[in-house]
Structure 1
């Protein structure tokens, strides 16, 4: 089972002819609202990958619909707390030429307390996964607590802060980074990835696939990307991570888990949206990746 300490956002998309200049008022041509946040995306991906996932997070009084949507997608929601702060959200302005501007408000995501986390993890079993990102608070409490309970800790360290990774390294079993984050971490620590005290590090490389650094086995392996025509890369990394951890929770070998996660991410970039369009296992089985 996966216990995901993660953000829950409303993604508000405003479609405009052009981005507004300072002081300009502009009328949106269209508006869409979807479920988002790195945490929610990963929970949905893990559920659609065929494993149990309990989301640990918070929403405001305006976020009941988001909890219902997660439940609809197969995510367990008993440890999502309603607080007196607006639900986290991203206001995304998209112009006709593809340019965008984004304003993010953390809101209830920063109201997740150690007490909430502890109450959830007290129900976990040894061998379960704790999955974390950096869009909530409480990682410094959650990681050592999970290790004390015999859980495995997976950390998708975005938005990236090298000092957070450095502080949590002793507790992390699986670290997922993109290429830029990996370069930044190596520079900040002045150490290569294969020298870190983390069993497995997976670096996503976009259209170039990904790299698995196994510090336990002292090996590095590259995985080529599956060729697809991308129309929207939003949420692809979250889809990859959710599928990867879910596959490992289902006891797939790391190589098989990475391949499945890459297939899910490849399908995701052919769709427009975030949590609402993450593919399920049947979508992957029905697609020819040869």
Structure 2
């Protein structure tokens, strides 16, 4: 099977800071690096490194062919990544403090210039049982979700960055909604219901260092997996790593509990490394990491 990901591709700029600046303050960074990022690119790389066949649907500017090449080297099919010579690639400014927490400002660029025709062409070969992943950093989610549902795909939607209008439009087309705890509360408040009464078949809520919880809202079944204890270096992209690995597990036909375990392990291992897409671990590394955590018989 295949995971199709309608997702953002960003050039990430990382600035190490002694603390986050307060309003009106100029703060000197102690280091600066750049690399591949964007929620979409991160999730595609994570899913590919998790063992899935991944086709990315997105766009970059002419100055960012390097980003496409990095995605290819991670095993992502970039056939449907458009290169727009007249527009800038999306980018993110990421401030990381010594504890690994971050603050991020993004600019959409080509991520919000995608054509419906390109999305249609990318999904033309999709089959029933494939997965469509989406986030809120591109345009075209509603169109893509409708095309995917018509072709029998499972639609997985991360409502981040949170946008209530986007959520209202897409939610009726979603099979699995993925949120962090803050986003879950925002969605529930916007829709005027409890988190466990959201109008989707399945809900996945991440709790950062405390793991994640999967809800089957039709049957009432719930599974919670704690996160391994690690010393964080950079939490950027941890949620994307989790989602990509979880979807890879689904695509491979693994039980939900095993998908959760693999996803929290990948995210925990990722936060011990600096960077975003390039810091996402390979499946063999995740298996080794989780095996080392289990007590000897």
Pick closer, same or farther for the CA change 1:63–1:218 going to 2, 3 Å: same
1:230 — aligned with what?
A: 232
1:280 — aligned with what?
A: 282
1:13 — aligned with what?
A: 14
Other structure's SS at 1:112 match: coil
2:217 — aligned with what?
A: 215
2:100–2:232 contact (8 Å) kept in structure 1: no
Pick closer, same or farther for the CA change 1:271–1:116 going to 2, 3 Å: same
Q: TM-score, normalised by structure 1?
A: 0.92
Q: 1:169 aligns with which of 161, 168, 171?
A: 171
Other structure's SS at 1:137 match: coil
2:273–2:279 contact (8 Å) kept in structure 1: yes
Distance 1:198 1:21 in 2: 39
| Cα shift at 1:92 | 3.4
Q: 1:289 aligns with which of 284, 289, 293?
A: 293
Q: 1:125 aligns with which of 118, 124, 127?
A: 127
Instruction: Summarize deviations over 1:200-257 as a string: whole Å, max 9, x none.
Output: 1010011221111111322223222222222211110000000001110111111111
1:188 — aligned with what?
A: 190
Distance 2:250 2:240 in 1: 15
2:66 — aligned with what?
A: 65
Pick closer, same or farther for the CA change 1:272–1:187 going to 2, 3 Å: same
2:75 — aligned with what?
A: 74
Aligned length: 289
Q: Over aligned residue pairs, what C-alpha RMSD do you find?
A: 2.3
Other structure's SS at 2:91 match: strand
2:210–2:226 contact (8 Å) kept in structure 1: yes
The more displaced of 198-207 and 16-25 is 16-25
Pick closer, same or farther for the CA change 1:63–1:192 going to 2, 3 Å: same
Distance 1:269 1:204 in 2: 15
Distance 2:198 2:23 in 1: 46
Pick closer, same or farther for the CA change 1:14–1:188 going to 2, 3 Å: closer
**Structure 1: tracts of 5 or more residues without a match:** none
Distance 2:178 2:244 in 1: 11
2:14–2:94 contact (8 Å) kept in structure 1: yes
**Structure 2: tracts of 5 or more residues without a match:** none
Other structure's SS at 2:79 match: coil
